Structure 1
Amino acid sequence: MTSFFSDDSPTNLAEFTVSELSGSIKRTIETAFDHVRVRGEISGYRGQHSSGHAYFSLKDDKSRIDAVIWKGSFSKLKYRPEEGMEVIATGRITTFPGSSKYQIVIEQMEPAGAGALMALIEERKRRLGAEGLFDPATKQLLPYMPKVIGVVTSPTGAVIRDILHRIADRFPVHVLVWPVKVQGEGCGEEVANAIHGFNAMDPVGEIPRPDVLIVARGGGSLEDLWGFNDEIVVRAAAASVIPLISAVGHETDWTLIDYAADVRAPTPTGAAEMAVPVKADLVAQVANLAARLSGASARQMETRRQGLRALARALPSLDQLLALPRRRFDEAAAGLGRGLELNTMAKRRAFERAASRLSPDMLARRLGERRQRITERAAMAERIVERMIDRLRGRVTGADAVLRNVPVRLRTQMDRSRDRLDGLIRRSDSALANELRAHRATLSGHERMLQSLSYKNVLMRGYAVIRDAADRPVSRAAALSAGAAISIEFADGRLRAVTEGGDGSPVQPSSSPEAPAAGAVAPARPAAPRASRKSDPPAGQGSLF
């Protein structure tokens, strides 16, 4: 076969490397499509990557193009991408030389018209509702009379002024304002953080936690209110443990936070009216209830008074009540003397019957019988002892005869055992003596330690022990009252004394000192005066010395 081309055939085409060709294509595309707007449906969106970038695709009914949003641009987006959302993306077309693919680098993105926003809201409402965030069973009741109200809104708009003015007119309470942006970039995050921040406050902290929250904003377009449709705001409102009132926009404006909130107010002013009652109405209602209570109490007291009077009229008189007990008492008093006489006569007859059965001859006869029985038992015991002695004497005689017939070898073995026993006895006596010495030394050490820890040594240094009349130690002056008998124990004896009042006069010891607990000792010498210490009783307390 004939070849029409050869490797060394001349050509005028430029030769590129793969990298050079890919770079040339990249520069050409980026130059031609450096700023484009593309309309399409988001496909394959799985959220931000761990690096912060977002990768997905834009598609229509015929084609698909890869898209990427870098981390810096993603944080600036007003609307976050969602799967199936139709958007208009603004950016530039570039290529990825590593895989010969092209993609759009999105810098701005917005939904494709109001219809797309409404469709996105409906889809998000359906998805969040399926999770139970809008379930009416989870709604909380508003407190009837809150002490603190938290408001999440812009601090510079007319909304906060309307809320504060309305609360001040109806029922002035403490209002905490958490300033946030109510539209634009970052609005949803700030509102959600404010709701979480109020819920995280300590109920007993320096700044009290609100009893009810109001999330408020004035009216506006769908785009202006879009931050309150953010999923993070809806989840924060549904998770709030503080009852939450949503007051976003006018009465005809609805956002997703209205479904997640516990109560929706048509306007911010209406939210303030829902949060607090009217103080004047409460005062009037309390006055009316107080008047009704006073009237009802008066009527009840009059009814009870009439019933008491009727019962008093139905009760018998004092004489009627005491007539029967008085008659029984008189009858018992009249029969008491006769009863005592009959009882005395019965006791006398019983005594005479018992005395008739007792006589000296009978006692002597019984004593003789007992004496004879004792004599017989003593004689019987002597005979028994004699027989036992005879029996034991026979055993001893037999044993002596057996021992006399013991062989000489047995006696030798017995002598050897006796010598061994004597040696063991001497060794045991020596060991016992050593053990006794060791125990005696230990006991002496314990005795010395006990002497060193004894409170007697403290008394030798000039201290004394105060005891009350029950001989219990007294450690505080407040435990004694004036005139109480006490005893004062010194190192060499005890003294009795009597406490006096707080006039500062000394206590005189009694003339008969009490003997100390262990032996008689001489009375203690008066202790030398010592410097005042912090532990001395204050003036007016009283003194024992």
Structure 2
Amino acid sequence: MVDIAGESPPSNAPDWTVSELSGALKRTVEDAFGHVRVRGEISGYRGPHSSGHAYFSLKDANARLDAVVWRGTMSRLKVRPEEGLEVVAIGRITTFPGKSSYQIVIDQIEFAGAGAIMAMLEERKRRLAAEGLFAAERKRRPPYLPRVIGVVTSPTGAVIRDILHRLSDRFPRRVIVWPVRVQGETSGAEVAAAIRGFNSIPAGGLALEPGSPIPRPDVLIVARGGGSLEDLLGFSEEAVVRAAAESAIPLISAVGHETDVTLIDFAADVRAPTPTAAAEMAVPVRGELIAQVQSVDARRRAALARAGEQRRAELRALARLLPGRDELLAIPRQRLDVAGQRLPRALKANAAAHRVRLARVEARLSPSRLAALVERRRERFTQVGRRLDLAFRVNAEAHRTRLLRGRDRLGSLAGRLRPSIRRALDERARRLDGIGKLMGALSYKGVLARGFALVRDADGRPLRSASAVAAGTVLDIEFADGHLPAVAGDAPGVAGSGGRAGEAAPERRAEDRKTGERQSGESKPRQRKGLKPAIEQPTLFDS
């Protein structure tokens, strides 16, 4: 039997499945909060998920709300989510049944007040830092004691008075003030222009008026008093940061109080918590410097005195430690005496040892042993002689074989050489005969042999026309069998008028015949001195 006395009475409420209840809650929440604006700080953001969606939380001092940005919405956001960024998220509230939690599906993100400004500054800081403008290796140490200090600040504020008062107390230096607005829309541009203006001053100074040169500062101070985040925005502008990073003059940033942070603080070479601290960093205390120099000088003098006294004491101590001559030579002298005592016994022992070794060698050098050794050497020399004789015979036979082969080869080459020489000589003879025939065909001597004559002037130049011969010109007529001198005349039938020279006076013809007979008896034709071989086409007359 089952005891049912303790059972509760049955209920009329319907049963919900988990999915049904989750769906009902989802519809209720979405109907009640269809479109909301939620302000909070982004927490737990680790970048987009592998799917492209982003999951993080929005929190304030008392609560936390899960948030999700779908992949399609992520690419359209004007403000990207960042860890710690205070924003206003616009979207709709829904539930996630898998975790029994509710969340906001974000459609848009906006900056929220000062948090937006901080986010903007953080984003600008990150971008400029990626360019290397805040790198530590770019920063330089200001000079220990600058001659001229340039100050970029408002000339009417308390900051410049504090800086001048602190400089006069510590170490008075020359100060050049570049007046700028330290608040407002134009403050950033003016500060950047002032920094670049100081850097544009040449090292020799810039004369604005005769007798008033402005020297180049050795260090710059950019200063401003404290204020709100909006008031200090001008010193976080990108132009100011770039001008501070590009400054060739070491720059000290003294903007606001110690808790105020601007981007110029990261680009400057030194950051001062206050303008007064910047003046203290720029110069040392004159009285302290004088006292320090005097102290260092006194320490130097005392150190020199102590060092001299110490060196003298060390020298005296070393002099006392140096041994005398007898002490230095005592041990070597004793060693010499011991060696002198041991030398006679050592000589006797050495002689006895050599005598024993000589006796041992003497026993091995008996006449019979020497005779046996000589006999062995003789047999060895005989064997070497036989081998040498055999080698000579083999070598001679090899040389004889090579000589016979060379002689046969030489005979063969000699038999081949004679026909080759004969063929070469025949070929040369044929070529020479052909060249001789060609020269005979081309020579003008053949033309003269056919009955023509060559006429030259007194200089041996060939004459090609009768019009070129003047009366009284001395001519030389060459025939096949010799030369005939002539003179050109104007009478009819004379060579100068186009006739032949053979119609001259009877006396000259007789003389010419004698000359021709003399020339015909010569074995070789006469050639006048200075004449060149008639290679060109000569002038010929029918004889």
Question: Which TM-score tier does this pair reach, normalised by the shorter chain?
Answer: 0.3 to 0.5
TM-score, structure 2 length as denominator? 0.37
Give 1 or 2 for the bigger CA radius of gyration. 2
